[in-house]
Structure 1
Amino acid sequence: MKSVTHSGVDAIPSPESNTMPYNNSALETLAAFAITFAAGLLSSIAFGKHVDKVRRDAIDSVSRPA
């Protein structure tokens, strides 16, 4: 069953019409993985350093006399 709007365009296109051909090379796939891995690694390190700083600041503010 095909659903059509008033303009004659498919309201809900079939999934087959939306797929793009897979034509990436192995090197492109590896480069995308490496970039994503490096970004994740850097963000994990930065978040860890931020948590350490917040923890140190919290300890310092509690131990400081009022």
Structure 2
Amino acid sequence: MNSDTNEGKWKQIKGEFKEELGKITNNESTEAEGSFDKLVGKIQEKYGETREKIEKEIKSW
């Protein structure tokens, strides 16, 4: 397990928290950020790539 995989797991936890905070505060922007963080975290955990590389790839979609 490399550091990018561990960072991916942390990113997922942080994303879930942001998503829930957005729901509680009725802030759609925070909720969307949380969903994005979770997505990046899952990809990062699975493939062990850097966050920057994954975010760049997702934004190119």
Instruction: Report TM bin, short chain.
Output: 0.3 to 0.5
**TM norm structure 1:** 0.37
More helix by share: 2
TM-score (norm 2): 0.39
Larger RCO (alpha carbons 8 Å, 6+ apart): 2
